[in-house]
Amino acid sequence: MINTGKLAGQTIFITGASRGIGKAIALKAAKDGANIVIAAKTATAHPKLPGTIYTAAEEIEKAGGKSLPCVVDIRDEAQVKSAVEEAVKKFGGIDIVVNNASAISLTGTAETDMKKFDLMHSINARGTFLVSKECLPYLKKSKNGHILNLSPPLNMDPQWFKHHVAYTMAKYGMSMCVLGMHEELRPFGIAVNALWPKTAIHTAAMNMLGGDDVARRCRKPEICADAAYAILIKDSKAPSSTGNFFIDEDVLKAEGITDFVQYACDPSNANDLMPDFFVGGGEPLVAAKPAAGAAPLGEVGKLFQAIESNLTPETVSKTQAVFAFVVTGEEAGKWFIDLKTGKGACGQGEPPSAPDATLTMDSKNFFNLFNGKLKPATAYMMGKLKIKGNLQQAMKLEKLMGSLKSKL
């Protein structure tokens, strides 16, 4: 995956970036000239695990990026807040969050003591939620905000639970953050995705679990780094850029990469690699493109898609209102247009914040309203349109319809 320079000057907050996949992602982004916040616990060398936040910082600087090493235990709310504040003070904001830090214990129910259980859930699920939450105010200000969790697709096959249910629960907690946050943050133009390897990755943790025999059946962390890079350079506001549970190899194949031997720890063993956890064995609960991100069915859905693709910051600035639509008749459903938040958004369901006006109409009248055959004021006076809330704000739709008519 060739660097494009698209991450130049962007600030990336990466947890667990002192080694392994986190550091590989950091180094890949650094080649573009990105600012990397290394949020990890390792300030002094570990007797069994190589690397510290400071050695990682040196490598990032040599690769062409700027670095900020921060001693952070993501279980500690105060430490996370402090690191976020340091990042904003030094780099002016945060554009991307990579939730990579994770704890693992592949033990059954009887063998998992509660200290290990709490550790995994505090780091994997709670830590991911906390870091995302604290970075959110700055992601909202970014022109291309991304959250990327190193977590698996939600595969409900029992085989992924029966041997290590506590670990699976903790990792799926990270994936559930993606499932919920991608839809929650869509109106702000923030993309939220998960990335998971197809095969085992040779990291320090994997080496401790299996040694050299396992290592030769693994791929290098660079395959995840290249896949993460391909995800993070995409336009965060594009509908297809959010809500995905990506697999590294699939991402790179979509980018036209066919040589995967380059990622094998032992190229001679590239065709006998060990599959990673949670991949295969059953259909994932959430596919690569979940229903929430798919194109809505029906003409109303297509119309809202067209409206969303033509929204501009200028439209949001001039309108400053949130509209909820209750459509009755043949294509009954609830929809919204948010022209108050972020870059503007629209979609199916309830709006992300309380609507200024709720408009109820039959689907046939709805089409006439948006194609210019029926004006909101006229529809209201004729009883074809019911308005609840701020009538003055609702009438702003007339100007909006006029600006969008030729584009739709």
Q: Which residues pair with 63 in a beta bridge?
A: none
Q: Are the C-beta atoms of 7 and 33 separated by less than 8 Å?
A: yes
Q: Which two tokens stand for residue 380?
A: 């209201």
Q: Alpha carbon 263 to chain centroid distance? A: 25
Q: For tokens 């194109």, what's the residue? A: 295
- With 0-12 / 13-18 / 19 or more C-beta atoms within 10 angstroms meaning exposed / middle / buried, residue 405 is exposed
Phi and psi (nearest 5°) for 94? -135, 130
CA distance 293 to 140: 20
Using only the alpha carbons of the chain, give its radius of gyration: 24
Per-residue b or e along 137-156, where b marks 16 or more CB atoms closer than 10 Å to that residue's CB: ebbeebebbbbbbbbbbbbe
All residues at 6 or more sequence positions from 90 whose CB lies less than 8 Å from its CB, including other chains: 35, 68
Q: Which residues are known to be catalytic?
A: 167
DSSP code for 219? B
Q: Are the C-beta atoms of 17 and 100 separated by less than 8 Å?
A: yes
Longest Cα–Cα distance in the chain? 78
Q: For tokens 């909006």, what's the residue? A: 400
CA distance 189 to 69: 28
Q: Which residues pair with 70 in a beta bridge?
A: 39
Q: For the chain, first and last CA: distance in Å? A: 37
All residues at 6 or more sequence positions from 2 whose CB lies less than 8 Å from its CB, including other chains: none
Q: Alpha carbon 341 to chain centroid distance? A: 19
Q: Tell me the one-letter amino acid at 378.
A: T
